[in-house]
């Protein structure tokens, strides 16, 4: 207002106003002339007032925004409703671009989060990963179980059982071991010093150039040998592991074989590799030593290596006798032979038992049968009557030779059955005249009358006494060694004897082979009964 | 066509460009930003000798910077039938060491073949070693020498071919 009044005053000073005009007219005039300006001025004043309000409002808004920007929580609250839809829309519109954009950020975020708060990540992922892992493990175990079942039910299970017993593990453990996955990816034959690849066999696809593998392997081995090998030793790097793959190396003098494998190799695998490289050196030693890089010179080894690779599967290694270990085949063969011998022995014992049963357990009322013989040998071909016991134990040809303990029924002092009687030369005592003329007969004669000139003798060992002169005849008892007997009759190799049992005074008779007695005098002809062959 | 495999080495002072020569020969490229690594770098490249109707598969052993720390290990040289002995034409000292490097292989293999290579021939304004200098140094080892540049590729293949030709001369 002040400025307006001043303005008017200035205006009034510039315009000459007649004094006669009264104040009222001037006011009217002012009103007329300045009406529009006054209205504009009022409008401006209103606008100014409004602007100040707006400015105040803006300042308040700015302050509020500043506060929000400074307050993370408030900022999140503000952006949260906006960001999610924006990202969602962006993902829908351009999924690949979003993946490219936020992928590295997410990766880094996870790394940071893992570093700073591992537990949270684990807790968050556990439900997903845990279930995935459990499913995978279940699946693997199911396959594993099927594999073991197949092996245990298969025809090779008997062989496996024997093999397991020999190795000191159970068949199921062996089956378990054989079920572990194993595969061969590549086999190389490499010259020692140069690292030149001699030949190779590839079983799975590989991007690595074989020639370079040979050189790199050689470099690594030689580096390891030069760096870590003790002076004077021939220690070599024999295995390299990289991830799931391993390189198993077996060395020969001029070359080494390297097998790239996955899984757990069978125990025979190393042996098979060793055998291969050894045989290779035996058969192609000069060619391996003189190899100068001429690929054609060792082409013939390619077939051998391929064939060898074909024998390296776990099944083949298990079934292949040559790789089953040095002693497996002899031991198995030995066991089979022993089993066969045992079976034959058992059958023989069975046969002998049935055959000799009647002889051993003869129904005999004689008290002498209380003796239990422990060994009996019987033959169908008795030795000639002239044969006498010697210092050398006679072969058990025509003898029943019990080795039982002495019987109580016989008063004669017994000696161990194994003791052999001493040689007593035949005496030259003149033969007494026969007291009775024997009747020529085929059958053994009846006991003749004992005369004064009775022929006496001593037994040379413990011997079974038979009822008739036949090894298969009924036993009546046993005569112990050094029993004094009287000769009643002779029939072939057999002699009929009579003796007295000391304890009871009973007189017994029976037949034994002639060589088991020692005669005190020659046998009178009257006692001899001719045999059909005589 | 007969095929032969041969192991050869690159010998020389550190940073003379051995690996660059190898890379240029094997991969036909030169890595300006190449940084020496530690250890052995083995690469393979074949050369065909048409007049002899044979292919030679070269297994090229390169020290790739490992020579900074110690003498060349015997495993590096063992079995090698030849070597490129390399020097830096802009570094006289590297050329002086060429006979020493060659003698290391000679001790392992008295029949080894050598080609002495002066590398970095593209740096014309900085060269301090001449071809004659290198020839003199190689006199005791067959006397074959040439200038090459791994950067522009000049004479790189020729150096390897010269070595192979020497083997089958």
Structure tokens belonging to residue A8 = 């008017």
Q: Which pairing describes strands A245-251 and A475-479: parallel, antiparallel, or unpaired?
A: unpaired
Residue A390 pLDDT > 50, yes or no? no
Chain A residue numbers with beta carbons less than 8 Å from the beta carbon of B2 are 294-296
Q: Is the ipTM of this complex over 0.90?
A: no
Q: At what angle do helices A72-93 and A35-70 cross, to 10 degrees?
A: 90
The CATH 3.30.450.70 domain(s) of chain A lie at 185-326
Residues B169 and B165: their CA atoms lie apart, in Å, by 6
Please answer yes or no on whether A294 and B59 come within 8 Å at the CB atom. Answer: no
pLDDT for the residue A430 = 47
Residues B9 and A524: their CA atoms lie apart, in Å, by 114
Question: What is the band of A73 on the pLDDT scale with cuts at 50, 70, 90?
Answer: confident
Task: Give the DSSP letter of residue A393.
Answer: P
Residue A418 pLDDT > 60, yes or no? no
Radius of gyration, alpha carbons of chain A = 61
Residues of B with CB under 8 A from a CB of A: 2-7, 40, 42-44, 57, 59, 61, 73-76, 78-81
Interface test with B, best of A191, A293, A295, A296 (most B CBs within 10 A): A293
Q: How far is B27 from chain A (nearest CA, A)?
A: 15
pLDDT for the residue A378 = 41
The pair phi, psi for residue A80, each rounded to 5°, is -55, -50
- Per-residue pLDDT of A100-149, as tens digits, reads 888 888 888 888 888 888 888 888 888 778 778 888 888 877 877 777 77
- Per-residue pLDDT of A303-362, as tens digits, reads 888 888 777 766 565 554 444 445 556 677 788 888 999 999 888 888 888 777 766 665
Residue A366 pLDDT > 60, yes or no? no
- Per-residue pLDDT of A497-519, as tens digits, reads 988 887 788 888 899 988 888 88
DSSP state letters, A425-494: PPP-PPPPPPSSPPPP-SSPPPPPPP-TT-EEEEESS-EEEESSSSTTS-EEEEEPTT-EEEEEEEETTE
The CATH 2.30.30.40 domain(s) of chain A lie at 367-534
Q: What angle do CA A96, A99, A101 make, to 5 degrees?
A: 110
The answer to whether A302 faces chain B, any CB pair under 8 Å, is: no
Task: Determine the average pLDDT of the residues in A252-265.
Answer: 87
Q: For the domain made up of B2-167, give the CATH fold.
A: Rossmann fold (3.40.50)
Question: What is the band of A374 on the pLDDT scale with cuts at 50, 70, 90?
Answer: very low
Residues A467 and A476: their CA atoms lie apart, in Å, by 6
pLDDT for the residue B28 = 61
Q: Which residue of A has its CA nearest to B41?
A: A216
pLDDT for the residue A373 = 41
**Domain spans of chain B, in order of start:** 2-167
Which CATH superfamily groups domain A367-534?
SH3 Domains (2.30.30.40)
Percent of chain A with pLDDT over 70: 70
pLDDT for the residue A54 = 92
- Per-residue pLDDT of A32-51, as tens digits, reads 888 888 889 999 999 999 99
Which secondary-structure segment (H or E) carries B54?
A: strand B54-62
The pair phi, psi for residue B57, each rounded to 5°, is -95, 110
Lowest mean pLDDT among A7-11, A513-517, A528-532: A7-11
CATH of domain A185-326: 3.30.450.70
pLDDT for the residue B6 = 92
The helices-and-strands tally (H runs, E runs) of chain B is 6, 6
Please answer yes or no on whether B7 and A194 come within 8 Å at the CB atom. Answer: yes
Lowest mean pLDDT among A136-140, A204-208, A213-217, A393-397: A393-397
pLDDT for the residue A17 = 61
The pair phi, psi for residue A467, each rounded to 5°, is -75, -35
Q: Which residues of chain B have pLDDT under 70?
A: 28-39, 64-73
Residue holding tokens 């003790």? A230
DSSP state letters, A14-50: HS---TTS-HHHHHHHHHHHTHHHHHHHHHHHHHHHH
pLDDT for the residue B135 = 94
- Per-residue pLDDT of A426-460, as tens digits, reads 444 444 444 444 444 444 444 444 445 678 888 88
Please answer yes or no on whether A194 and B80 come within 8 Å at the CB atom. Answer: yes
Residue A225 pLDDT > 80, yes or no? no
Structure tokens belonging to residue A405 = 């303990």
pLDDT for the residue A407 = 38
The helices-and-strands tally (H runs, E runs) of chain A is 13, 13
pLDDT for the residue A437 = 45
Chain B residue numbers with beta carbons less than 8 Å from the beta carbon of A291 are none
pLDDT for the residue B145 = 94
Residues A528 and A275: their CA atoms lie apart, in Å, by 78
Percent of chain A with pLDDT over 90: 6
């Amino acid at each position: 207002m002040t400025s307006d009044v001043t303005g008017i005053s200035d205006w009034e000073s510039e315009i000459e106003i007649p004094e006669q005009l009264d104040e009222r007219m001037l006011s009217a005039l002012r009103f007329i002339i300045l009406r529009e300006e006054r209205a504009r001025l009022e409008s401006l004043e209103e606008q100014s007032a409004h602007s100040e309000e707006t400015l105040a409002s803006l300042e308040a808004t700015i302050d509020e925004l500043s506060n929000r920007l400074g307050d993370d929580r408030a900022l999140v609250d503000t952006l949260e409703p906006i960001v999610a839809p924006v990202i969602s829309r962006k993902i829908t519109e351009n999924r690949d671009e979003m993946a490219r954009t936020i992928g590295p950020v997410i990766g880094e975020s996870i790394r940071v989060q893992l570093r700073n708060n591992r537990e949270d990540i684990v807790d968050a992922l556990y439900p997903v990963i845990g279930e995935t892992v459990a499913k995978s493990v279940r699946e693997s175990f199911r396959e594993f179980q099927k594999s073991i079942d197949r092996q245990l039910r298969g025809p090779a299970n008997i062989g496996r059982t024997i093999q397991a017993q020999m190795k000191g593990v159970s068949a199921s453990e062996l089956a378990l071991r054989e079920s572990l996955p194993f595969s061969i990816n590549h086999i190389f034959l490499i010259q020692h010093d140069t690292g030149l690849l001699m030949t190779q066999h590839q079983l799975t696809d590989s991007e690595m150039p074989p020639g370079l593998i040979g050189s790199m392997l050689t470099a690594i081995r030689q580096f390891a040998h030069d760096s870590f090998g003790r002076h004077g030793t021939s220690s070599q790097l024999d295995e390299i592991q990289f991830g799931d793959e391993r390189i198993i190396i077996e060395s020969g003098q001029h070359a080494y074989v390297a097998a790239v494998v996955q899984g757990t190799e069978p125990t025979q695998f190393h042996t098979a590799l060793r055998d291969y490289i050894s045989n290779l050196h035996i058969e192609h030693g000069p060619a391996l030593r003189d190899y100068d890089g001429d690929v054609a010179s060792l082409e013939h080894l390619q077939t051998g290596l391929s064939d060898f690779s074909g024998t390296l599967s776990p099944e083949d290694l298990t079934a292949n006798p040559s790789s089953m270990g040095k002693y497996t085949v002899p031991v198995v063969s030995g066991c089979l032979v022993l089993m066969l011998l045992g079976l034959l022995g058992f059958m023989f014992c069975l046969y002998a038992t049935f055959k000799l049963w009647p002889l051993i357990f003869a129904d005999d009322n004689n008290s002498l049968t209380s003796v239990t013989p422990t060994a009996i040998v019987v033959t169908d071909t008795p030795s000639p009557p002239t044969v006498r016991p010697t210092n050398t134990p006679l072969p058990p040809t025509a003898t029943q030779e019990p080795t039982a303990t002495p019987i109580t029924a016989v008063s004669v002092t017994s000696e161990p059955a194994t003791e052999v009687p001493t040689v007593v030369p035949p005496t030259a005592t003149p033969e007494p005249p026969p007291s009775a003329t024997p009747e020529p007969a085929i059958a053994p004669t009846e006991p003749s009358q004992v005369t004064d000139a009775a022929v006496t003798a001593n037994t040379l060992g413990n011997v079974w006494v038979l009822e008739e002169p036949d090894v298969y005849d009924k036993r009546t008892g046993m005569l112990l060694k050094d029993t004094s007997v009287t000769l009643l009759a002779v029939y072939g190799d057999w002699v009929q004897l009579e003796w007295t049992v000391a304890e009871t005074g009973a007189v017994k008779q029976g037949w034994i082979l002639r060589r088991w007695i020692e005669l005190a005098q020659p046998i009178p002809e009257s006692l001899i009964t001719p045999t059909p062959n005589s | 066509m007969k095929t032969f495999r041969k192991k050869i080495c690159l010998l020389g002072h550190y940073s003379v460009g051995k690996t660059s020569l190898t890379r240029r020969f094997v991969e036909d490229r030169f890595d300006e930003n190449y940084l020496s690594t530690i250890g052995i770098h083995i690469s393979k490249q074949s050369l065909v000798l048409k007049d002899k109707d044979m292919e030679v598969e070269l297994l090229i052993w390169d020290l790739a910077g490992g020579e900074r720390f110690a003498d060349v290990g015997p495993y590096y040289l063992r079995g090698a039938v030849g070597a490129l002995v390399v020097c830096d034409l802009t570094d006289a000292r590297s050329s002086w060491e060429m006979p020493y490097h060659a003698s290391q292989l000679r001790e392992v293999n008295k029949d080894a073949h050598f080609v002495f290579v002066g590398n970095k021939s593209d740096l014309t304004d900085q060269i301090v070693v001449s071809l004659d200098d290198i020839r003199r140094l190689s006199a005791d080892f067959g006397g074959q020498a040439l200038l090459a540049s791994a950067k522009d590729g000049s004479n790189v293949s020729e150096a390897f071919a010269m070595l192979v030709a020497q083997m089958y001369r």
